[in-house]
Structure 1
Amino acid sequence: MSRTIKIYSISLLISGFISLIWILFDIYQIKTDLSFVIRFDKVGLIMGIGYLFIILFHILSLIFIMIHFHLKKESNPLRNSTVILGLFSFLAFGIEKVMYDEVGREYYLEWPAPGEVIFLYICLGIHAIFVVTVFIFITKQLIISKKQKEISIQ
């Protein structure tokens, strides 16, 4: 593994950790006070910035996995499942946008919106699973790279 890819991997691990914290913050905010999320005040703005960061992490991690596809041609079930989960996670962003709009409309009309909130939790769960899967994938690649380096030194 080249030095550039190793630095990219470590930066992805750090940004993935921050993304996971933001996802957990979103879940907490939706659970505790949905009105702040819908009104897009300070808390909603923080969540919006978090979504931009999470989307950036998704894009960068999928680029990393595609680079890995290009460099290593053999079949890797973890890599393949990470790509599929990443695509589902990208689709979940669209679903979340629609659900936030629906919850906002129903909240102002004082209607209950438990179904939409459940969809939000499912989408955030998909994002969290994707982040954890990317953690595992990158960590595994760093360990394999380290072992190959030790073997080549001996």
Structure 2
Amino acid sequence: MDKPPTDPAAPPAYNATVAGPTGHPYPAQGQQQPYPPQAQPQPYPPAGHAYPQQAYPGQPVIVTQAPAAGTVYVQQAVQTLGEHPTTMVCPHCQAQMVTRLDYEVGLLTWLIVGVLFIVLLWPCCLIPFCVPACKDVIHYCSNCNRQVGRRNRLT
């Protein structure tokens, strides 16, 4: 079989590009392909140096300093206070405690009273003042008795 004429501007044949020194696409058994050199990771800047940030066009450049050695930042998570006593650390006296609850007439209480009065159930309109589920919940520290949170039924 004759080979077709080749154009000098044409790319090389597939077998010629993937074949190794033996003419096969895979290395011979026992031979390993050399790996390309790996880039070495850059070390972090030492403490006290500014960390570089990538700036984009139109964006202000912000440079932050690393905290000094030995500085510890403690961030407390915001705890959602609900209808039941909650175990927490008091922000005032730093004691681990279970909150004490108190109930206060709030917007929901007055709204229910108004609706009951308008629909002519005025003999029952004072009931929401006696039901804790209609009132706002206030959480107090059981150690120092200061208010640590509040849950409004209707905000």
TM interval, short-chain normalised: under 0.3
Larger radius of gyration between Structure 1 and Structure 2: 2
Structure with a larger share of its residues in helix: 1
TM-score normalized with structure 2 length: 0.25
Higher RCO (Cα < 8 Å, 6 or more apart): 1
TM-score normalized with structure 1 length: 0.25
